[in-house]
Amino acid sequence: MRSFLLCPLLLVVLLFSNCKKVTEVTQVVQPNLTIFKTLQPGNWKYDGTSKTYYNDISVPELDDHTVQTNGVLAYITFDNIVYEALPDVLDGITFICRYQKGIFTVESQHADGSAPTTPPSGAIGLKIVLIDSDTQ
């Protein structure tokens, strides 16, 4: 008689001991925005104080919120195949970027700080990635 009661009891213990608590996870995906521009050779200007050539690009997507909160990444390419992340030094020339509301600037100067003799002579592809972010 005991064995008949023991079997259902063991079955109940086995059935309820395998219960798992399921936690639902909600993930919010923040979309990124990629902007492609071209730095034209005729648009470089020289700043004698900083000894740099600079090229300003209009980027209306750089609003106050983006400048203050979001991430901004930049890449340049000379052949639309290989991209270099900014800042970077290529063939002794330093490329850096700055941005503010509505304007993205790429600067070029010799890596040793000396004044370059000429600005970049060819078109340079520019990829700007705006990464949406939340603040706390």
Q: DSSP labels for the chain?
A: -HHHHHHHHHHHHHHHHT---------PPPPEEEEEEEE-GGG-EEETTTTEEEEEEE-TT--HHHHHHSEEEEEEESSSS--EESSEEETTEEEEEEEETTEEEEEEEETTSPPPSS---S-EEEEEEEE-----
pLDDT value of position 43: 96
pLDDT attached to residue 72: 96
The pLDDT score that the predictor gives to residue 136 is 73
pLDDT on residue 3: 58
Residue 135: the pLDDT is 75
Q: What is the pLDDT of residue 15?
A: 58
What is the gyration radius of the CA atoms in the chain, in angstroms? 29
C-alpha to C-alpha distance for 105 and 125, rounded to whole angstroms: 13
For residue 119, say if its preceding peptide bond is cis, omega within 30 degrees of 0.
no
Per-residue pLDDT of the chain (136 residues; tens, 9 = 90+): 555 566 666 656 555 665 566 777 777 776 899 999 999 999 999 998 988 999 999 999 999 999 999 999 999 999 999 999 999 999 899 999 999 999 999 999 999 988 788 899 999 999 999 999 877 7
As a whole number of angstroms, the distance between CA 73 and CA 80 comes to 17
| pTM for the whole structure | 0.75
Structure tokens at 68: 């203050």
